[in-house]
Structure 1
Amino acid sequence: MDYTKLKGDKFGLLKVLVRTLWVQLLLPIPPRAALIAFYSCQPLFIESLVTYLSHSDPDPNVGYGLIGAAIIIYSGIGISYALYWYCHHRLRTMVRSILVTETFKAATRVRLGAGILINFTATVIASMKWHKISGLAGPVAAIMIFAAVFAFMPQLISPPLTFAFAQNPLNASTMFSSLSFLTLLTQPLSQLFQSIPELVSGLACLGRIQAFLELEPRRDYRQPQVEAQSCGMEKSSKQLNLKSTDCIVIRDANFGWKADKFVLNNINTQIPAASLTMVIGPVSSGKSTFCKALLGEIPFSQGSFVMSTPPRHVGFCEQTAFLWNGTIRENIIGFTPFDRERYDQVIEATSLRFDLATLLQGDQTNIGSDGVALSGGQKQRLSLARALYLPSDFLIPDDVFSGLDADTEEQVFRQVFGPDGLLRRRGSTVVLCTHSVRHLPTADYIIALENGSIAEQGTFVHLSTRAGYVQRLEVGLKPEGEDTNADDEPGPCPKLFEGQTRTGKKLDPAITVNSTQSSTLNASAEAGARQVGDATVYKVYIKSMGWFVAACSLFFAALWGLFTNYPTIWLTYWSDATESIHPAHPNSYYAGIYALLQICAIIALLLLGITLFIVYVKKAGANLHQQALSTLICAPLSFFTNTDTGVVTNLFSQDLNLIDTELPEATLNTLFCIFQSIGQAAVMLTSSVYLAISYPILGGLLYFVQKYYLRTSRQLRLLNLEAKSPLYTHFLHTLKGIVTLRAFGFIPNDIHKNIRLVDSSQRAAYLLLMIQEWLNLVLNLVVMVIAAVLTTLAVRLHSNWAFAGASLYSLMTFGESLSGIVISYTRLETSIGAIARLKTFNEAVTPEDRDGPGEEDIVPDTNWPDRGLVKLCNVSARYISTTVSNTDSESDSNSVVHGAAKPPLALKNITLTIHPGEKVAICGRTGSGKSSFLALLLKLLDPLPSTSNNHNHEPPVLIDNIPLHRIHRATLRQRLIAVPQDPVFLPDGTSFRANLDPTNTATPEECQRVLEAVQLWGFIQEQAEGLHAPIRAGTLSAGQRQLFSLGRAMLRAIIRLRSTSSSYKEGSDSHDQGGILLLDEVSSSVDRETERVMQEIILAEFRHYTIIAVSHRLEMIVDFDRVVVMDRGEVVEVGNPAALKERAGSRFGQLVAAAAA
């Protein structure tokens, strides 16, 4: 689709679609013209039949001709109707394919910026749903109701007005032929009114899609050497110092995310080819921006950027690992062909073989959305393995060691970046941005950034001998050839082949994902989605809206059927009165009653719409959402580990959207069509009671048709919904990892994948449309048979001409009502399937809260925990819930329960006492159970039942002498202050203030104080709106996010002190209230200086607290009172850090030695 010529035109996209699909646009015209012609014959046919029946001695041949005319007219309507909608749906499918594909292509071309991609994402995805309205707020619901009412206004009001002011005498022939013509004229007008909201929504969607397509594409400012010389740049290659040994030369360059503000200024540097360049600097110095500048991703740039030869593929590792929801192998190879030898090389180099050996499915383990089943260090090593597997000699890893322990970090660095590492052997060019400055001696070239500019650059030997940033780091030169960790490498592990499974000791139970065992929720949800005929689901539906609301809906729908069909009978009485010599009432009487009946129909429709679109949505939507949200909040940690986030997202987006939008609409249409059809069938009986004989046959035929149709269409509708989900997920996934995909050169492959997903999603949608048109054709042919039978009975039995006219007039829309019943009921079943899935979700997810005797029955005082005493006695725990006996212990961690291998223990026989005010550090190898220890204290992980009955008869865990299992979970998590490794922020657009103080209980002065303490106040002041400025993706660097998270913890401590201490004075430090602070890798993404500042803040602000900190940064815990070393879920060493460091053979000493290497 060529869009460039009409770019900037308000209706440019619409014009391009017309020009591209002009043939498909013209194809529906012939069948539509035929359909209009056949529709126009209906009034003439009714007039002819009524006139024929009015004669006392009609010609039989004319009657036979009328029977033939009925067959031709109504069969022609059915065939032309089917052909028209067939062409229409083909056009609709093509338009959707084009728009989805073009939108995706545009998303891969759009430049990065301040939330450009993120801001458009939701809008664009919503635009794909052409016939949906997102969210039924009051005004939108009112618009839909009045649109429906006004759509029927012309059809209901025009007949009374026409007949009331008619100049000529009225008879049955005139009345029903006129009424037929009015119906033909007003039906398109009614459809126009009903289409106005959809038309406006469709044009708005096209406008938003067009705006997205018009976004400025990414401009690659990187120029190859030959191109730079041929373009006549101001500086020659000699002036740029582009030597044969240089891969990149940057001169006088500025890079930024906004046009008026550069992040990096006056950058002059070069990247040596086939070497290791390390980029270092404090938090927010511009390291990540420098990485993206090398990739050509910065939207605003100045200066020159010359490359010797731009690589087709760049092995880029983002600071936050970007992973697919797939297997480990799929994440490593990406779109690259599988090469066993290269694959084994990268697995070995990144030390993943030991981790794979612990997984039940090996490298076929599904890691879940964003790698939820992996630890932070495993995710980073998996991202690094993917970059190493890529056939590229240029790699840019960004802070890939932040989640690794010292031992694993040293091992991975040596095997990948070291003198004999994989990249050295390949002769690759590497630019490594990192806070792990202990590896600087290995670098060939160092670039130190500070405050957005290069503070110094050169070799380590050169920089370490001159006063500057590198010298201040006090990093010693590693003796040449020293191999500090050769003996610590894990033993050899057999190669993992496809489909091979492993068992063994586990590094961290959170990484276990059994891909062969389907999630209970997925299976239950799928079963619930298809069990839409379950009466209990309808009971839940009715109960959610209330029995009174349900009864009112049925009553108003019955009134609608009565008041829309009885006026047709009333016309027969009116026509009889006009033929009478002495009528009982004047025409005004009949006209007034006729108008009153039509007005009552409008009122009934209005009341039905208000009941379903306003009363129902407010009541049922809120109830169902609250139930699902409560279930999700109370779900245990194992639920989030084993359940793909897409399943939960669908529940709270697609299913709740169906309940709020399609379900009331489907209910309205179903009730509307049912009572409309009943009324029309009753009117047709007035012509001849013998027609009733055909009704059972008609009912049986419709039963088998709907049974076949519903069984097929229900599955197609569900397949349609399921096929769209991967398409939307893939779109969001591409936006999230667009930088990585561009760097890897995967965009063409990703576009082809999107096209395949579009094709897949279109199959079910197109087949569903075709089966609907098959139904319409069948029902229209049934109407043709009814018309032929009705005409035959009227001709042969010489029926009452007025009632015959009324019957034929009702027959005009009877076919639409019949097909409407089946189609609307199918939509109702599909929509109510959303309630079935929510019902299954609420029943299948076992809440983590325990309501048994002696379980979670204590809500401590507001000042608890005021001491901070923590005692653990012989505690063992595992993540994934299984049926275990009370005798479970670590000895049976590999046994079998109900035929399935039990997951290994996360914690094994932990016995530990942490005294009030003590500062305790938890350290150990990646996956050793450190985070599980914190999860236990927060009741995210429950002890095994066997540990509740230890030999001392003590509770397994005590906090300030209160058994942990008796403390209410929500209260516990409010009272303990925890800082997670991955900082949590509210959705994009929320303010700094809302993210810092979600409860809005702190004063502005308190907010400023904590932000000043974590050195972020200056950054906040630079924002136009200060604390009320919105936070968007990329606003804060990874280090700043961790500082902000620490500031939030400080603010919680201040608020807690203020609310529990009567002697508290703002800004005062004279208090001694204790508490518990849990820290999980809070300094993993910051430099040494910032880490030192964070340590000072923690020790000063929380000096009276008991602090339990998980950290790989051993420099941060040297001032702690004790250190607990863990390995494979067990406590292997406890003691003072200084004493353990000096003890021979100490595990902690080995970790310190590895970190200092």
Structure 2
Amino acid sequence: MPFHDSEFGLLYMNRDRFDFNLHFEQLFFSILPCTLFIVCSLWRAITQSRKPSVVYAPIFQLAKLGAIITYVGLQIALLIQVGMGSFHITRIFIASSVVNLVAALAMVMISYTDHNRSPRPSILLNTYLFLTLLFDIAQSRTLFLLSESTPEITYSAVFTTSLAVKIVILFLETKSKNKWITWDRDEHSPEETSSIFSLGVLSWLNSIFLQGYRSTLSMDDLYPLDVALHSKQLHDRFLANMDYSKLKGDSYGLVKVLVKTLLVPLLLPIPLRLALLGFTFCQPFFIEKLLDHLSRPEIEANVGYGFIGAAILIYLGMAVSAALCWYLHHRMRAMTRSILVTEIFSRATQARIGADDHNAALTLMSTDIERIRLGLRMLHNVWAGVIQAALAAWMLYIRLGLVFLVPIGVVVVCFTLLGVLVNFTGDSQRAWMTGVQKRVGLTATVIAGMKNLKLSGLASTVSSFVQKLRVEELAAGARFRKIFILAAMLGFTPMLISPPLTLAFTRASLDTSKVFTSLAFLMLLTNPLSQIFTSIPELVSGIACIGRIQAFLECETRHDFRQVLSDRKKNLNFTEIEADTGSSEIETAPDSTMISIKNGNFGWKENVFVLQDINAHIEKSSFTMVVGPVGSGKSTFCKTLLGEIPVSRGSVVLSMRCPRIGFCDQTAFMWNGTIRDNILGFSIYDEKRYDSVIQATALSVDFAKLTQGDQTNVGSDGITLSGGQKQRVSLARALYLESDLVILDDVFSGLDADTELHVFQRVFGPGGLLQQRRTTVVLCTHSVRFLPFSDHVIALGDNTIKEQGSFKELAEQGGYVQSLGIRDSAGGDGSEAVSETAASKERTEAQKDAQGSPDGSPGAEVNLDDPNRATGDKAVYKYYFLSMGLLVAFCCFFLAALWGFFTNFPTIWLKFWTDDISSETRSHSHAYYVGIYALLQVSALISLLLLGITLFIVSIKRAGANLHHDTLTTLIQAPLSFFTHTDTGVITNLFSQDLNLIDTELPDALLNTLFCVFQALGQAAVMPTSSAYLAISYPLLAVLLYSVQRFYLRTSRQLRLLDLEAKSPLYTHFMDTVRGITTLRAFGYISDEVSKNARLLNRSQQPAYLLAMVQEWLNLVLDMIVMILAAVLTTLAVRLHSNSGFTGASLVTLMSFGESLSGIVIYYTRLETSIGAISRLKTFNATVKPEGKEGEDMVPPENWPQHGSVELNNVSASYQ
């Protein structure tokens, strides 16, 4: 057959052969992909030309270019043959040859640019080569089949030679460039150097799987986070699109900014999701054609082989396209989390002090972010499901006529009801999250202040109040879960009710092929809608959480009202200078003034001023002491100098810019780290400066008594240190900072008189550190005995400055300072030292504290040798079922078994119905089969409703309250030594992250695991009905599934545990930051804190991201298993000429069997990892022993004590 003989009809099959038309192949297999590649290659070359070179492999590059140039030569030869006219051709043949040559030249350009500038093999080039290679194989076969003359045979031979060269090019281009990359490979993930094929089959995860299977994983074993997912660059892109002035008033403003920032990652999965949609739609067409083929008396072998190949192609395409689609989607979800957490933290560092937003921000960073990630999980299934449902409805119309409106009507009714439900979702979600926020915030406060609660005897009372908040939170969450259950019911209603209604009202004549094909299209119509209905509440919930984050970001931030003299001079014009009474003072103010306050009124609430009519000057290199009775506003005065007061009037002018101010707050701020870390902060270690500071603050004596010296960990909020030690560490931090201004708020509180004197002389006195450095010092204090040593005194009282001046002046004025009766002793040389005996009180206290101080790192240690990290602990399930009640657990299993039966037996019932239709005499009426079919489907819906109520309402309410009560009781009764050893972030994580898992992911995972297990059992019973030989493969299938889940679970479970553990440092750092925000802003450490948050966030992303990837690896493997089952089932059907009714039932069941298999392993894995929350609570309750021991408490008589005294004889006390 000559080449031109196929020009009539692009889609006709070649006569007498199972083959495509040549013109169809040249248009869709050659011209279309080549044109797309040429356009994309131009864009790729432009973008890559701006990037630096990261690969150096000139010899390898020459080899690739040589192969491509050879291919270009063969394309030129083909074009010459076409141009010579040695055989008859058409215009489309010429166009194909020209476009192929241009595409070959584009290959040279892309190979050259991507070789040096891309660390991975070119995705564009490899995708093009792979697809066109498949197309070229089909074209080569067609060309040889059509070749009759010698020129045609020669053309076909040259074309086949170019095909062989293309295979060589593909082999070279897919080769990894890892060993030639110039960067440090230890700092980059193998994902960054993987080819499109490695990404498609997720083979870059192999090494992490092997390591997780063989040994216990730690954070250091995980791949580094992909550079494209690093928080800093993502947040910079976000800030480029963020405009806070436009955010307010727009309810979806933050959503819009996120979409704009992540537009490309958001759109990348769409082509692959469309490809998955196309492969999915091939299934019912495949079933229809195969059943028609089996109904014929004679079957052609070639056609049968074609069906086998089609089955492999369809299910393989579904597997790979789904893997790539969700791979890209999970990257977008990780980017969203990174951006939002960074922005929440950044905004929290700008918050006003006194604003009660810290607990809210902690909840936003943990619970709300997880709800957002959950809501985004099925994002692309929403729009794809709508398209799939519309196409399926059209296919039903073609086959059954207007009855296709029946499922559409069911869908519309359910969607309308869902729309009504959605209106309540946002409010119920906000009420639930508000309850979580109140409980978690209070719990974090209780944990941080446990020492004071125990000393005050309020621990039990506060515990009861926290438990009450937990019960209220569960009640608020139950309202949201009821909506979720109803939404799930509405989601499954079209899938279960539409088939019987459609078959009941149809007037079309039914046969086996039409029934099962229609059922397949009904599944494609209703299944995505079911997913949409269950996904929409999650999506709406996620958007509501984004709205909560937006509300937090819109909160008023700190306004630094201080002005710098040089900036103010620069900004004031002549008119303003004349009109402003303060300007003239600025112009004439002496250069010796450091801070000038003019007509100042300062307060924490609008129109309620703590300090009024403040006028003061603080000279450079001076020592100013601020005194006054309790409540006179000394701390407010300190915060005023720092620009931290939210309400201010008048002016505060600094003579110079002070990016770093040494500041000690009235309550000493401690990081959860070593003593040295707390002193150094983010400053560089200078041994000489460090030694002088610890000597001046008398910390050297404390270090000598501590086992690890200054490497001793202070614990959360410095719980392992005494009050005096914390004050001196805080003072040492301010002294170590290189700053021209130091502001100290009551730093002598907690110090005995002798230590106070020592510190004052070494730090403030003549020859002290601050005087040597000529530092400007403002000291607010109750220790008025040091007033004679000050250069300037400010006495506060009655919300204003009562008097100010030098001590000598004020001592003679008859005011507040004179009333203190202090003798002027400043004339001494101040060189007297404090003896060892004089400081014994504070040092003895330090020694006692040292005996109970933990010497290791903070936080609960992770036991990496625990085998349960890889294999799990089945006793935890018993603990969970007991917490919900054994009767409730039994009901869950029973209802799930009913679900499995009622969702699978109807398929067999349809086979009985179609057999009755095909028989010569009908045994039962149409209404009989439809009625029982509908009864089975409605029963499945009822079992779903009852199971949802049992698990999501009854179980969560009982288990959630009981587990929280047990854990909270353990916490309250824990000894103080536990809090000195354990990081507050770890404990808070139990009450936030773990309880959130128990309330959300755990019941969801249990429900879906039970669904999938019992549904898969039913499906496994249905599929062998087409051929008993298929059942022979079940033992092998069971072994394969067991091996896969065993191999997978060992790694995924550990990754989930690492995911939870990696979040604790992130939360701890956040709580530390907001607690010491005033100190950190004064020290100029905010940028350092943001950078540290970015590092901790990136580290927490590592296990979370890898966990999502290994789950997609599992989906891919299970989809491959389904592909094998489809191929085996098709082979048995076409070779054994199986019954078309049972084959239809088997193939329709196979459409969802893959999802069931995948669901079993995925949801069981999610169950295993979520049950880790129960395991941690169980371990916590079992290992933390109560401080009260049996027999040590005595109950005194009612009239005790009538009189008496307390005697302590040889008592020793410590935290351990």
Range class of TM-score, shorter chain: 0.7 to 0.9
Partner of 2:585: 239
Matched, 1:201 2:541: yes
Deviations 1:271-327 (A, max 9, x none): 111011111112222111111111111222221221110211000111111110000
Q: Structure 1 residue 253: deviation in Å?
A: 1.4
Deviations 1:81-112 (A, max 9, x none): 11110111111111211112222222222333
- What SS does structure 2 have at the residue aligned with 1:128? helix
Which structure 2 residues correspond to residues 103-114 of structure 1 after superposition, within 5 A? 103-114=344-355
Matched, 1:3 2:242: yes
Q: What is the alpha-carbon distance in structure 1 between the residues aligned to residue 1161 and residue 1106 of structure 2?
A: 17
Matched, 1:351 2:674: no
| Paired amino acid for 2:813 | R
Contact 2:333–2:373 at 8 Å: present in 1 too?
no
Contact 1:105–1:751 at 8 Å: present in 2 too?
yes
Deviations 1:353-412 (A, max 9, x none): 001110000000011000000000100100000010001121011111111111111111
Partner of 2:1211: 876
Match of 1:369 among 716, 729, 754: 716
What TM-score do you get using the length of structure 2 for normalisation? Answer: 0.69
Q: 1:514 to 1:864 in 2, by over 3 A?
A: closer
| Paired amino acid for 2:313 | I
| Paired amino acid for 1:561 | G
Partner of 1:85: 326
Contact 1:224–1:309 at 8 Å: present in 2 too?
yes
Q: What is the alpha-carbon distance in structure 1 between the residues aligned to residue 792 and residue 859 of structure 2?
A: 53
Match of 1:39 among 280, 288, 294: 280
Match of 1:431 among 765, 778, 797: 778
Matched, 1:609 2:934: no
Q: What is the alpha-carbon distance in structure 1 between the residues aligned to residue 865 and residue 559 of structure 2?
A: 45
Contact 1:525–1:840 at 8 Å: present in 2 too?
no
Contact 1:86–1:773 at 8 Å: present in 2 too?
yes
Q: Structure 1 residue 539: deviation in Å?
A: 2.0
- What SS does structure 1 have at the residue aligned with 2:585? coil
- What SS does structure 1 have at the residue aligned with 2:1214? coil
Q: What is the alpha-carbon distance in structure 1 between the residues aligned to residue 526 and residue 656 of structure 2?
A: 69
Matched, 1:865 2:1201: yes
Q: 1:512 to 1:528 in 2, by over 3 A?
A: farther
Q: 1:154 to 1:550 in 2, by over 3 A?
A: same
Q: Structure 1 residue 508: deviation in Å?
A: 4.2
Deviations 1:788-814 (A, max 9, x none): 000110111111111111111111111
Which structure 2 residues correspond to residues 966-977 of structure 1 after superposition, within 5 A? none
Contact 1:324–1:370 at 8 Å: present in 2 too?
yes
Q: Structure 1 residue 623: deviation in Å?
A: 2.2
Contact 1:716–1:765 at 8 Å: present in 2 too?
yes
Partner of 1:831: 1170
Partner of 1:535: 874
Matched, 1:801 2:1140: yes
Q: Which moved more, 1:628-637 or 1:418-427?
A: 628-637
Deviations 1:227-265 (A, max 9, x none): 222222414655246212210111011122222322221
Match of 2:1188 among 824, 832, 849: 849
| Paired amino acid for 2:247 | K
Contact 2:564–2:653 at 8 Å: present in 1 too?
yes
Match of 2:530 among 182, 190, 194: 190
| Paired amino acid for 1:103 | I
| Paired amino acid for 2:534 | Q
Q: Structure 1 residue 167: deviation in Å?
A: 1.1
- What SS does structure 1 have at the residue aligned with 2:1211? strand
Which structure 2 residues correspond to residues 520-531 of structure 1 after superposition, within 5 A? 522-523=861-862, 527=866, 530=869
Contact 1:528–1:833 at 8 Å: present in 2 too?
no
Partner of 1:767: 1106
Partner of 1:636: 975
Q: 1:158 to 1:171 in 2, by over 3 A?
A: same
Q: Structure 1 residue 864: deviation in Å?
A: 2.9
Q: 1:516 to 1:228 in 2, by over 3 A?
A: closer
Partner of 1:63: 304
Q: Structure 1 residue 714: deviation in Å?
A: 0.9
Contact 2:718–2:726 at 8 Å: present in 1 too?
yes
Contact 1:724–1:761 at 8 Å: present in 2 too?
yes
Partner of 1:509: 848
Q: What is the alpha-carbon distance in structure 2 between the residues aligned to residue 875 and residue 72 of structure 1?
A: 84
- What SS does structure 1 have at the residue aligned with 2:1210? strand
| Paired amino acid for 1:878 | A
Q: What is the alpha-carbon distance in structure 2 between the residues aligned to residue 460 and residue 339 of structure 1?
A: 37
Partner of 1:295: 642
Q: 1:711 to 1:124 in 2, by over 3 A?
A: closer
Which structure 2 residues correspond to residues 450-849 of structure 1 after superposition, within 5 A? 450-481=797-828, 483=830, 486-489=833-836, 507-512=846-851, 522-523=861-862, 527=866, 530=869, 533-849=872-1188
Q: Structure 1 residue 123: deviation in Å?
A: 3.9
Partner of 1:126: 367
Contact 2:870–2:1049 at 8 Å: present in 1 too?
no
Alignment: residue pair count: 867
Q: Cα RMSD between the aligned structures?
A: 2.3
Contact 2:854–2:981 at 8 Å: present in 1 too?
no
Contact 1:6–1:13 at 8 Å: present in 2 too?
no
Contact 2:705–2:847 at 8 Å: present in 1 too?
no
Q: Structure 1 residue 871: deviation in Å?
A: 3.5
- What SS does structure 2 have at the residue aligned with 1:239? helix
Partner of 2:115: none
Partner of 2:259: 18
Q: Structure 1 residue 166: deviation in Å?
A: 0.8
**Greater fraction of residues in strand:** 1
Q: Structure 1 residue 482: deviation in Å?
A: 5.2
Q: What is the alpha-carbon distance in structure 1 between the residues aligned to residue 321 and residue 1196 of structure 2?
A: 75
Partner of 1:270: 617
Contact 2:597–2:616 at 8 Å: present in 1 too?
yes
Q: Structure 1 residue 491: deviation in Å?
A: 11
Q: What is the alpha-carbon distance in structure 2 between the residues aligned to residue 526 and residue 153 of structure 1?
A: 48
Q: What is the alpha-carbon distance in structure 1 between the residues aligned to residue 251 and residue 1066 of structure 2?
A: 28
Partner of 1:305: 652
Contact 2:601–2:611 at 8 Å: present in 1 too?
yes
Q: 1:579 to 1:621 in 2, by over 3 A?
A: same
Partner of 2:212: none
Q: Structure 1 residue 489: deviation in Å?
A: 5.0
Partner of 1:1151: none
Contact 1:529–1:833 at 8 Å: present in 2 too?
no
Q: Structure 1 residue 79: deviation in Å?
A: 0.8
Deviations 1:1018-1047 (A, max 9, x none): xxxxxxxxxxxxxxxxxxxxxxxxxxxxxx
| Paired amino acid for 1:688 | S
| Paired amino acid for 2:700 | R
- What SS does structure 2 have at the residue aligned with 1:78? helix
Ranges in structure 1 where 5+ consecutive residues have no aligned partner? 494-503, 882-1157
Contact 1:563–1:601 at 8 Å: present in 2 too?
yes
Q: Structure 1 residue 60: deviation in Å?
A: 2.8
- What SS does structure 2 have at the residue aligned with 1:876? coil
Partner of 2:672: 325
Q: Which moved more, 1:251-260 or 1:315-324?
A: 251-260
Q: Which moved more, 1:597-606 or 1:543-552?
A: 543-552
Match of 1:419 among 766, 769, 774: 766
| Percent of aligned pairs sharing the same letter | 59
Q: 1:517 to 1:527 in 2, by over 3 A?
A: farther
Contact 1:53–1:795 at 8 Å: present in 2 too?
yes
Q: 1:115 to 1:848 in 2, by over 3 A?
A: closer
- What SS does structure 1 have at the residue aligned with 2:1000? helix
Ranges in structure 2 where 5+ consecutive residues have no aligned partner? 1-237, 375-432, 437-472
Q: What is the alpha-carbon distance in structure 2 between the residues aligned to residue 444 and residue 520 of structure 1?
A: 46
What TM-score do you get using the length of structure 1 for normalisation? Answer: 0.72
| Paired amino acid for 1:702 | L
